[in-house]
Structure 1
Amino acid sequence: MITVNSLVASRPEIAAIAEAADPNPLREADALQESQLLESRVCQLTGTVALLFDLRTSLQFDIGNAALLVVRGVSSFGWSSSAVQVPLAAMTVVSQLPARSPGSFRTRFGFFPDAQLDVAGAQAEFYVLEVDGISDVPPDYTAMSQEHIARELPAWHSRCDPLQVAST
């Protein structure tokens, strides 16, 4: 087992121990539909963006409970959302459109509640993960404390096994 963050930091060679991602959100539109964006990290020093998803509500993935999308050589990162304060809720993917060309990768997400994310860079990796120690269903955001919710979600420090991988 490794941590989610170690996948971002070190880009390990796991293609030999994980099968090819199916579906592949680096190539297929809406492959992450109904998954939930939990966190994003932007590191200007390394030019890296990492997006952490909860897959337990995903329409497309039958294995894994989390996913990680890492974009390297980032040229742009744009987030927009409503300024209206809403109750605590995960950002559910309603649309996702990847675009590839030689030496570049771009993806655009639409979320519920109302938000959009655009990220572009030189290359990308996608990992389907089995995070240790979380339940089979996401937490109830309306009935639990933030501390309890956090214990039931994948996090950067979570220990995990990579199950599937894709890269550009």
Structure 2
Amino acid sequence: DEAWKCAFGEYRVPILKTPFLLMASQYDWYGLVIAEGADMGSVFYGKHHCFPSPQCPYYEYAERFHNVTKSGLLSLPQVKAGTAGLYSSTCYDHAVSNIWLFGAQRVRGVTRAEALLQTIAATEGRGAMPYVVSAWDSFNGGSGCMVKLPSECGCPGK
């Protein structure tokens, strides 16, 4: 009666045996849109706007989402053991492997493309798996986030 769990990464990823690279935003655009029912625009369409007013509840939920996501990523047994790579930004984006951001956006000076190459090298015995996790703890934070949101967006005092 728990077969449904195989469809969700939080249950499936910890039991994978094959080396892998996990790329995940701690403020994943799609995850937040689905959970909150509102978004600030998409990296795919280039249209950005603020969350609906009042904005604070959206940002508060995004912070909880970030904390759960980051905690889950950092606790993966394969990441801890060095048998899987991790690339995690705090950018408000999703699934950018098919657009220009894949080779341009940086976390701690590393692009997703570079992390992928490092993963391939590691699986061939030439180095360690990448561990690239944003040092920022803020929504769309970090100099590497190349999709800028309108300056009027935000939750005052947070």
TM-score, normalised by the number of residues in structure 1: 0.22
Report the structure, 1 or 2, having the larger strand content. Answer: 1
More helix by share: 2
TM-score after normalising by structure 2: 0.23
Higher Cα radius of gyration? 2
